[in-house]
């Protein structure tokens, strides 16, 4: 039976972070002076209508469901649970289906986390980003670092089977010592999974404006590289193994939903701006929540643009995606030209020489730092 994962986009935040370029909106941005309840009241109803469309096009078995945003944890568990129930009513859902919720530590308490567990969530990912107050201030993050520990403890108390935290490195003003303290604080929580992403300054954000005015400056490339190698080393020492470029986990706690993306499996993205992939066809929805809702309530498709992947695109993604993962790329799947282009990186220490000899291209920690460069050598 064909597998189909679901991504559910919740496009609401109480405050926009200075670095954020995601498709998210504060209530006031959607309607002057509005409350979250006002702007989101009929949102789940719209998502349920898109689910009806998905069922007509893509029957199958559901291994993972992921609620991202935005801040999904702002909505009540019973509302998010309506989406989970609708999927379970229409598709065959694995007994061990991974159902993930992204959460801001400030937006939950133990009672609310219990409501999420009761609604069907079994995995939660907290946006920690940093343990350094001055770094959080630069990022415009609103949470108190101490709330992360409280939130993780409460999630464990109510029975979440897998708990993750997200970190960001390379914030202006962040030192290597700041970053070490953040990683060590995250590992001290005894979580099952850590994601660590390099800060990307997106054009049009508040942070980009501050950098352009030279109010603040980005760390240099050498420091960013040291930060990546440090989190990799500390995570491995704590029993969390690298399994994807920016992700480490305890055995059995890898994000199966994100692995589906990296393996180019089928997934349906529900919500405004959400992207989908089904058997070599990609599409994404209209970005604005109000347009998304009105389209569905009027019986129209919310899809904004669709493309059929070409053989060349599929071949390129067969390099770009698996090279990110610990399993790497089988040499037999590479042409002679691609193998010739890759071989110098085995001598420079960027591709694991032993694995290469065993028939697999696997990046070393140093190689992960230049993964994009190596991909460019292989996409021929």
| H or E segment to which residue 360 belongs | strand 360-361
Closest CA to 197 of 254, 140, 130, 296: 130
Q: Is residue 73 part of a domain?
A: yes
pLDDT value of residue 378 = 96
Q: Is residue 300 assigned to a domain?
A: no
Q: Are residues 231 and 356 in the same domain?
A: no
pLDDT digits (tens, 9 = 90+) for 8-29: 999 999 887 777 778 899 888 8
> What number is the average pLDDT over the span 98-105?
96
Average pLDDT of span 193-197: 98
Does 185 share its domain with 328? Answer: no
Please determine, for residue 195, whether its predicted confidence score (pLDDT) is greater than 90. yes
The number of beta carbons lying within 10 Å of the beta carbon of residue 42 is: 12
The answer to whether residue 296 sits within a structural domain is: no
Residue-wise pLDDT tens digits, 64-94? 999 999 999 999 999 999 999 999 999 999 8
- Average per-residue pLDDT for the chain: 94
For residue 30, what are its two tokens? 């959607």
Which domain, by its residues, includes 323?
313-378
Q: Is residue 288 included in any domain, yes or no?
A: no
pLDDT of residue 159: 97
Residue 171 inside a domain? The answer is yes
The sign of the CA dihedral 320, 321, 326, 330 is: negative
Instruction: Judge if 239 and 119 occupy the same domain.
Output: yes
**The total number of structural domains that make up the chain:** 2
Looking at the fold, whether 258 and 359 belong to one and the same domain comes out as no
pLDDT tens digits, 287-343: 999 999 999 999 999 999 999 999 999 999 999 999 999 999 999 999 999 999 999
For 32-181, strand residue ranges (E) read 61-69, 92-103, 123-129, 162-169
Exposure of 213 by Cβ count < 10 A (0-12 exposed, 13-18 middle, 19+ buried)? exposed
Pair (342, 204) in one structural domain: no
- Do 22 and 126 have their domain in common? yes
On whether both 258 and 320 belong to a single domain, the answer is: no
pLDDT digits (tens, 9 = 90+) for 204-258: 778 778 887 888 887 789 999 999 999 999 999 999 999 999 999 999 999 999 9
The 10s digit of each residue's pLDDT in 113-127 is 999 999 999 999 999
pLDDT at 1 over 70: no
- Looking at residue 214, what DSSP letter applies? T
Q: Which of 224, 246, 262 is the last residue of a domain?
A: 262
What tens digit of pLDDT does each residue of 123-164 get? 999 999 999 999 999 888 877 888 999 999 999 999 999 999
pLDDT at 370 over 70: yes
Span 248-302, pLDDT tens digits:
999 999 999 999 999 999 999 999 999 999 999 999 999 999 999 999 999 999 9
Q: Do 96 and 234 reside in the same domain of the chain? A: yes
Report the alpha-carbon distance of residue 189 to residue 118 in Å, rounded: 24
pLDDT at 26: 87
Closest residue by Cα to residue 5 from 228, 262, 218: 262
285 within some domain? no
Residue 349 domain-assigned (yes or no): yes
Mean of pLDDT values over 200-206: 78
The whole-number pLDDT of residue 29 equals: 86
Per the domain annotation, does 206 fall within a domain? Answer: yes
Q: What is the CATH number of the domain that holds 37?
A: 3.20.20.70
């Amino acid at each position: 039976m064909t597998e189909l994962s679901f991504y559910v986009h919740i496009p609401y935040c109480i405050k926009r972070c200075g670095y954020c370029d995601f498709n998210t909106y504060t209530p006031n941005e959607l309607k002057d002076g509005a409350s979250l309840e006002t702007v989101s009241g009929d949102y789940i109803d719209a998502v349920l209508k898109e689910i009806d469309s998905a069922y007509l096009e893509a029957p199958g078995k559901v291994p993972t469901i992921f609620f991202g945003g935005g801040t999904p944890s702002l909505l009540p568990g019973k509302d998010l649970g309506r989406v989970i129930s609708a999927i379970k009513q229409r598709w065959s859902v694995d007994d061990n289906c991974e159902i993930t919720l992204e959460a801001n530590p400030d937006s939950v308490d133990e009672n609310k986390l219990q409501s999420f567990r009761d609604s069907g969530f079994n995995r939660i990912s907290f946006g920690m980003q940093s343990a350094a107050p001055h770094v959080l201030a630069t990022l415009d993050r609103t949470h108190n670092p101490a709330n992360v520990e409280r939130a993780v403890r409460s999630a464990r108390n109510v029975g979440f089977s897998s708990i993750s935290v997200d970190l960001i490195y390379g914030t202006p003003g962040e030192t290597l010592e700041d970053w070490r303290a953040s990683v060590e604080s995250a590992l001290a929580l005894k979580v099952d999974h850590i994601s660590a992403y390099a800060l990307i300054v997106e054009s049009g954000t508040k942070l980009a404006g501050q950098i352009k005015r030279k109010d603040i400056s980005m760390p240099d490339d050498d420091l960013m590289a040291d930060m990546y190698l440090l989190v990799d080393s500390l995570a491995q020492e704590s029993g969390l193994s690298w399994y994807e470029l920016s992700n480490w986990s305890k055995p059995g706690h890898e994000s199966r939903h994100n692995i589906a993306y990296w393996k180019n499996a089928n997934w349906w993205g529900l919500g405004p701006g959400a992207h989908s992939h089904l058997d070599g066809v990609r599409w994404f929805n209209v970005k604005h929540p109000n347009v998304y809702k009105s389209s569905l309530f009027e019986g129209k498709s919310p899809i904004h643009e669709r493309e059929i992947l070409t053989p060349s695109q599929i071949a390129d993604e067969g390099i770009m995606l698996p090279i990110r993962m610990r399993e790497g790329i089988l040499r037999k799947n590479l042409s002679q030209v691609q193998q010739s282009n890759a071989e110098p990186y085995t001598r420079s220490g960027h591709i694991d020489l032993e694995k290469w000899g065993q028939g697999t291209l696997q990046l070393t920690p140093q190689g992960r730092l230049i993964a994009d460069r190596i991909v460019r050598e292989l996409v021929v």
